[in-house]
Amino acid sequence: MISFINRFHGHGSLRYVYQNGQAFRSRMITLKMTENKHRKNSRIAVIVSKKVLKSAVGRNRIRRRVYEYIRKQLPNFSSVFDIAIIVSSSELLIVPYEEIISQISQMMDQSGIIKK
């Protein structure tokens, strides 16, 4: 799990990312991001809808798997970003962790979040 300062609090700031963020899509995940120069720390949210997966246990497992990769990548961010990772497929529950990593890292490279 990522630390408290790297999470969103309230719906207003997350709504801003939804409306104004750039979207990068893969088969199972959508990454929406916007740069935020007003903050010191990046904020990340992983959204798994009930429509995608009914089981709360499964939704939380997907969230934990994605948050773990993000937690390891936080020091490599090139700037301060607000990021929403939206899961659009329940397949993410059974997909190997390495494939999740490859999809998210590919989208982060496209968006310029990770410094090279």
- Position 13 confidence tier, pLDDT thresholds 50, 70, 90: confident
Whole-Å CA distances, 13 to 5, 67, 72, 96, 115: 14, 19, 24, 32, 24
Q: Which of 87, 29, 18 is closest to 59 using CA atoms?
A: 87
- The pTM of the full predicted model, rounded to 2 decimals, is 0.91
Whole-Å CA distances, 82 to 7, 43, 64, 97, 107: 9, 5, 18, 24, 15
Is the pLDDT confidence value at 102 over 90? yes
- Position 95 confidence tier, pLDDT thresholds 50, 70, 90: very high
36: tokens are 């935020």
The CATH-assigned architecture of domain 4-108 is: 2-Layer Sandwich (3.30)
- Percentage of residues of the chain with pLDDT beyond 90: 79
Backbone φ and ψ of 43, nearest 5°: -120, 140
